[in-house]
Structure 1
Amino acid sequence: MAAEIIEFPNRGYQDPLVTSVARLEQMVKEVDRLAAEQPADGLGQLLVVMERFGDRLVDLAHLVLDDDAKRNVQIAFTSLSDKIAATRDAFDDGATDL
């Protein structure tokens, strides 16, 4: 796996928005890699990445949204996390229909 260097606009100060977007880009690349290299075997890892992706989106939302929108984002991603956990449990139990 090749390492990538992310160049930030100002080396002395890292803008939280730029940092969050860079982290999201790295996760998207990880999902793309998993889908290409391990489409079936990487399901557990894909679910982990999706959870991290959701957490990062919530972090990003807190930087750019007002309080009401932040609460809505938090509720939506809590629901997403619950669904990811249910999916993981279903696959761990060997269930085929969700």
Structure 2
Amino acid sequence: MDDLTQTISNLVGILLGVVGGVGVAYFVFGAYQYLTASGAPHQMERGKTAMLTALAGIVLALVAFGVVELVIDAVSNPVVTIEAPPEPE
């Protein structure tokens, strides 16, 4: 069970890195669109939308990472232990 939870944790960490990298790249792309809009309202709006979408994606990925880690911790380290009843004499 520990190998499976460790594998899942590693996979989620890798995916978080990929999603985070893509999110940062998309945010930079949106910032570039916004800065090079030269006052064109439509282009500025596209840049703002791209930056907000990237930020939402990064936050969602971080929340998903936290949820997965909580579930893995709950599965691998149970808090409640049930003891067998004592045998009658």
TM-score (structure 2 length as normaliser) = 0.51
CA root-mean-square deviation: 2.4
SS in 1 for 2:78: coil
Gapped runs of 5+ residues in structure 1?
1-38
- CA-to-aligned-CA distance 1:69-93 (integer Å, 9 cap, x gap): 1210111011111111101211221
Q: Greater RCO between the two (CA within 8 Å, min separation 6)? A: 2
Moved runs in structure 1, 4+ residues, more than 2 A?
39-43
Higher helix proportion = 2
Gapped runs of 5+ residues in structure 2?
28-49, 80-89
Distance 2:8 2:52 in 1: 30
Query: Larger radius of gyration, structure 1 or 2?
Result: 2
Aligned residues: 57
TM-score (structure 1 length as normaliser) = 0.47
**Structure-2 residue corresponding to 1:63:** 25
Supply the AA of the counterpart residue of 1:43: T
Identity of aligned residues (%): 5
